[in-house]
Amino acid sequence: MGPDDGPGAAVAWRKVLWERQPYPDNYVDQRFLEELRRNEGLRQYRYWAVVREAGLVGQQLSCVAIFITLWLYMEQGLLSPGTLLLISLASSLLGYGLYQALASQAEPVLQPRTCWADLQSVTIFLSFIFGFSPVLKTLTESVSTDTVYAMSAVMLLAHLVSFPYTHTSPPGSLSLNAALFASVCLASRLPGALHTFTMLSCALMVFALWPCLLRRVKNGAPHHFAAVCVGVCAAGVGGLASRWPGGAVILALALATVILLCPWLLVQLQRHKDNIHGPWDEAEISEDLSHFLQ
Amino acid sequence: MGNRRRAAAFSHATQAVSGPTAETIKTAGRKHSICMVSDFFYPNMGGVESHIYLLSQCLIEKGHKVVVVTHAYGHRKGVRYLTNGLKVYYLPLQVMYNQSTTTTFFHSMPLLRCVFVRERITVVHSHSSFSAMAHDALFHAKTMGLNTVFTDHSLFGFADVSSVLTNKLLTVSLCDTNHIVCVSYTSKENTVLRAALDPEIVSVIPNAVEHGDFTPDPSQRNNDRITIVVISRLVYRKGIDLLSGIIPELCLKHPDLHFLIGGEGPKRLVLEEVREKYQLHDRVRLLGPLEHKDVRGVLVQGHIFLNTSLTEAFCMAIVEGASCGLQVVSTRVGGIPEVLPEDLITLCEPTVQSLCAGLETVIARQRSGSVSTPASVHARVRNLYTWRNVAERTEKVYDRVCGEEVLPLDRRLRRLRTHCGPVAGSIFAFVAVLDFLFLLFLQWWLPDRLMDLAADASGPFGLWRQEASESKSKAPSKRGGQ
């Protein structure tokens, strides 16, 4: 019964240990690896479907670019805070209307928030930002400008990395905090307190409210989602091009990579996937066992 | 690439079995000097530890010389002797994680060389893929031109990053090892795939159970109730979450059902919560950690043995349960379906529903009295897995291995390069060269001929038994000095 113990008998080999079989221990049967399964539950990706999903990543990148563009305009005095405030008020009212309109089509919520509650939140947020903007304006005065820029860049990068792309509402706390940290840093380099206030309310709109609206669009009007993404990307590139053409080129290249090249690579590399399963895999507990403890 | 290699190995595998080679015949019956190496040994407790100990004892009984090498456990360092003169080296190596040492590929070389030379080792047998020391020993033994055997005791997945890395290391470690032993056919398939091996050099030798220690005793049972026994570490991999779903489900249906749970672990909390919530304190007893000698005392109190493991290479617990005459219910995972014949075990899918259904049929059978008696179950199981049989089959592996040549350095380097991929292969080929230079340095610094040879306690020229029989008055025998 050791290895190479002589030719096997006529008895068929069975995959059992409890029976002494007339085969050597290192016998390899025809049925060896019979239960091996390859690429189980493999999802075949289609290129344009992946591109559509990647659009979400691209538009988030563009959102950051749009925010930086606004800041550039404000910093160079090309845009007065009053104008920007008016524009953002108009667009947030428009967005809010859209949000409510899409709510009926999207998933029904048990207890919808009333407009009154929304108004209260907005008032609280705006008055706090308005009250604190002189403080925030001088917050980083003792820090050198280079440090502030570097910190903002790192934080915006952290925002992009940690953004919960798979479920975009509400924006993940880490990504939202990183983005607000970066906007406080940038806003504190602007000339006046009103500038700071405007910049921060814009930051809230771009980083907190826009992802919520975009999710509604994605769920409620999926056909328009692609168009919205393209629009945001174009706005990002175009806006940046007006102040910093080099940056716009870099952004366009990054967007092309994320939206077009990476999905292509994913689809191409998919055929090299070789995932093996078999009886040796650890079983997964698929049931929800928590109800036994509640 | 791994894909292609696997396919090649597979096609090769389906060829006819080769007959006994000339070398095997020549070496059969020879007595070997075997060095068992693993990080896991007494006083640590577990499957690998008892496997090494009991296999060594049976090999000593057959006239081979066996020494065990492991790392120091607390104050237990240096040389110790166990029953029948089994010599254990507790080497002073640093423990990193889970009782496993680190590997630098070099620092263990002087000590291991010392052991191999002094004990005149011919075969190095490493155990467990989690043990860094076992892989180190394989690496150095091949550098020193010794024959190597490796026993894999566990199953491993392919999906996550950590398994990709460990599987690569296993490929490197096993590509020039003479023979590999697995404990079940499923484990063999797993190891062949993980290390991209030729299945011809992998033998399946199951674990064994000391059936004398696990005899039934129906008088210990309380026949007014039905007792389900679970003995395992209370961890996720043993499916304790499933158990926490089974307990309330069945206890509500059967008021005479009791659970007896032995073992300790992080999932104990879950079981305690379930017991608390359903007020089952009198029916679910948690015994805490059990010593090996107490296991039988718990098993014989039960009617049904339940195993809920999610993965298992060879489940010794179910054999122990059956040996004590219990009806066994288990999940159908890993090597478990191979272990017991269909009429001694009820196999279920790893879900609460399936396990409950399986347990219900066994409970119904138990009530109607249509189950076989504990004595008859024991009689069927007792000769299935014995350590003598394991030792006999392992001996044949040693005989075969001793007839094979150990790859010389140039061919070993080529094997590493062709077998482990261009990057990892080149890196480890470089390490192998360094290891060889280090060996040359050690041989110059302390030549083999200047090393004292150890007196054999066991083996063909063993002094232990001769001395013990000649001079019983001079007991307790010679100790130390080595």
Residue type for A190, please? L
B285-310 burial code (b ≥16 CB/10 A, e <16): bbeeeeeeeebbebbbbbbbbbbbbb
Q: Which residues contact B258 (CB under 8 A, 6 or more apart)?
A: B225, B226, B227, B228, B283, B284, B285
Q: What is the mean pLDDT of chain B?
A: 87
Q: Tell me how far the alpha carbon of residue A175 is from its chain's centroid.
A: 9
Q: Are residues B46 and B157 in the same domain?
A: yes
Range of the domain at B287: 212-385
Contact between B3 and A274 using a beta-carbon 8 Å cutoff? yes
Which of B385, B403, B420 is a domain's end point? Answer: B385
Predicted confidence (pLDDT) per residue in B377-398, tens digit: 999 998 889 999 999 999 999 9
CA distance B200 to B13: 7
Residue B379 domain-assigned? yes
Q: Are residues B398 and B334 in the same domain?
A: no
Q: How confident is the model at residue B101 (pLDDT cuts 50, 70, 90)?
A: confident
CA distance A284 to chain B (A): 7
Q: In B167-217, which ranges are E strands?
A: 179-182, 202-204
For residue B371, give the CATH number of its domain: 3.40.50.2000
Would you call B189 an interface residue with chain A, using a CB distance cutoff of 8 Å?
yes
Predicted confidence (pLDDT) per residue in B130-186, tens digit: 888 999 999 999 999 999 999 999 888 887 888 888 899 999 999 999 999 999 999
Mean pLDDT of B219-234: 92
Cβ atoms B258, B227 nearer than 8 A: yes
Q: Is the pLDDT of residue B97 over 90?
A: no
Q: Are residues B304 and B399 in the same domain?
A: no
Q: Which of B208, B470, B248, B221 is nearest to B366 (CA)?
A: B221
Q: How confident is the model at residue B104 (pLDDT cuts 50, 70, 90)?
A: confident
Please give the pLDDT value at position B477: 41
Considering only the beta carbons, identify the residue of A16, A278, A285 that sits closest to B241.
A285
Q: Are residues B273 and B319 in the same domain?
A: yes
CA distance A43 to chain B (A): 16
| Residues of chain A with C-beta less than 8 angstroms from the C-beta of B13 | 28, 32
Considering only the beta carbons, identify the residue of A6, A28, A280 that sits closest to B190.
A280
Q: Are residues B368 and B422 in the same domain?
A: no
Residue B20 domain-assigned? no
Q: Where are the domains of chain A?
A: 1-29, 53-81+110-270
CA distance B363 to A59: 61
Q: Is the pLDDT of residue B321 over 50?
A: yes
Predicted confidence (pLDDT) per residue in A226-258, tens digit: 999 999 999 999 999 999 999 999 999 999 999
Q: Are residues B250 and B149 in the same domain?
A: no
CA distance B134 to B445: 25
Domains: count for chain B:
2
Contact between A3 and B203 using a beta-carbon 8 Å cutoff? yes
Residue B12 domain-assigned? no
Q: How confident is the model at residue A3 (pLDDT cuts 50, 70, 90)?
A: low
Q: Is the pLDDT of residue B127 over 70?
A: yes
Please give the pLDDT value at position A9: 53
| Residues of chain B with C-beta less than 8 angstroms from the C-beta of A16 | 338, 341
DSSP string, B396-451: HHHHHHHHSPPPPHHHHHHHHHHHS-HHHHHHHHHHHHHHHHHHHHHHHHS-GGGS
CA distance B396 to chain A (A): 5
Residue B92 domain-assigned? yes
Q: In this structure, how many other beta carbons lie within 10 angstroms of the beta carbon of residue A46? A: 10
Q: Is the pLDDT of residue B366 over 60?
A: yes
Please give the pLDDT value at position B458: 75
Please give the pLDDT value at position B13: 39
Q: Are residues B241 and B195 in the same domain?
A: no
Q: Is the pLDDT of residue B471 over 50?
A: no
Q: Are residues B63 and B142 in the same domain?
A: yes
Please give the pLDDT value at position A260: 94
Q: Is the pLDDT of residue B12 over 60?
A: no
Q: Is the pLDDT of residue B27 over 70?
A: no
Residue B41 domain-assigned? yes
Could you tell me which residue, B173 or B3, shows the higher pLDDT?
A: B173
| Residues of chain A with C-beta less than 8 angstroms from the C-beta of B163 | none
Q: In B184-225, which ranges are E strands?
A: 202-204
Please give the pLDDT value at position A89: 92
Q: How confident is the model at residue B228 (pLDDT cuts 50, 70, 90)?
A: very high
Which of B385, B401, B429 is a domain's end point? Answer: B385
Q: Are residues B396 and B358 in the same domain?
A: no
Residue B14 domain-assigned? no
Would you call B203 an interface residue with chain A, using a CB distance cutoff of 8 Å?
yes
Cβ atoms B195, B178 nearer than 8 A: no
- Give the least confident one: A168-172, A187-191, B382-386: A168-172
Which of B360, B385, B410 is a domain's end point? Answer: B385
Contact between B310 and A282 using a beta-carbon 8 Å cutoff? yes
Would you call A293 an interface residue with chain B, using a CB distance cutoff of 8 Å?
yes
Q: Are residues B268 and B402 in the same domain?
A: no
Q: Are residues B271 and B351 in the same domain?
A: yes
Contact between A32 and B10 using a beta-carbon 8 Å cutoff? yes
| Residues of chain A with C-beta less than 8 angstroms from the C-beta of B397 | 2-3, 25
Percent of chain B at pLDDT exceeding 90: 66
Q: Are residues B379 and B393 in the same domain?
A: no
Please give the pLDDT value at position B260: 94
Percent of chain A at pLDDT exceeding 70: 91
- Give the least confident one: A158-172, A201-215, B60-74, B355-369: A158-172
Residue B481 domain-assigned? no
